Amino acid sequence: MPNVLYLTCSPRGAMSFSRRVGDELVAGLGGAVLARDLAEDPPPMVDAGFSAAILAPVTEAVPPALAVSEALIRELEAADVLVIATPMNNFGVPAVLKAWIDQIVRINRTFRSTPEGKVGLLRDRPAYLVVASGGWFTGPSPTGTPAQPDFLTGYVRTVLETVGIRSLSIVALEGVTRGAEVAAAAIGKARAEIDRLLTQV
Ligand SMILES: Cc1cc2nc3c(=O)[nH]c(=O)nc-3n(C[C@H](O)[C@H](O)[C@H](O)COP(=O)(O)O)c2cc1C
Tens digits of residue pLDDT in 164-192: 999 999 999 999 999 999 999 999 999 99
- Give the residue-averaged pLDDT of 30-51: 98
- Check pocket membership of 8 for ligand 1, CB cut-off 6 A: no
Instruction: For the chain, give the mean pLDDT.
Output: 97
Closest ligand 1 atom to 92 CA: 8
Assign 57 a pLDDT band (cuts: 50, 70, 90): confident
Q: What is the pTM of this model?
A: 0.97
Q: For a pocket test of ligand 1, which of 89, 148, 173 has the largest count of ligand atoms closer than 8 A to its C-beta?
A: 89
- Check pocket membership of 19 for ligand 1, CB cut-off 6 A: yes
Nearest residue by C-alpha to atom 2 in ligand 1 = 89
- What is the three-state SS of the chain? CCEEEEEECCCCHHHCHHHHHHHHHHHHHCCEEEEEECCCCCCCCCCHHHHHHCCCCCCCCCCHHHHHHHHHHHHHHHCCEEEEEEECECCECCHHHHHHHHHHCCECCCEEEECCEEEECCCCCEEEEEEEECCCCCCCCCCCCCCCCCCCHHHHHHHHHHHCCCEEEEEEEECCCCCHHHHHHHHHHHHHHHHHHHHCC
**How many Å lie between the centroid of ligand 1 and the Cα of residue 176?**
9
Assign 39 a pLDDT band (cuts: 50, 70, 90): very high
- Check pocket membership of 92 for ligand 1, CB cut-off 6 A: no
pLDDT score, position 113: 97
pLDDT score, position 59: 84
Closest ligand 1 atom to 17 CA: 25
Q: For a pocket test of ligand 1, which of 37, 88, 136 has the largest count of ligand atoms closer than 8 A to its C-beta?
A: 88
Nearest residue by C-alpha to atom 30 in ligand 1 = 89
- The domains located in the chain, with CATH, are 3-199 (3.40.50.360)
Q: Please say if the pLDDT value at position 58 is more than 90.
A: no
Q: Please say if the pLDDT value at position 149 is more than 90.
A: yes
pLDDT in tens, 74-122: 999 999 999 999 999 999 999 999 999 999 999 999 999 999 999 999 9
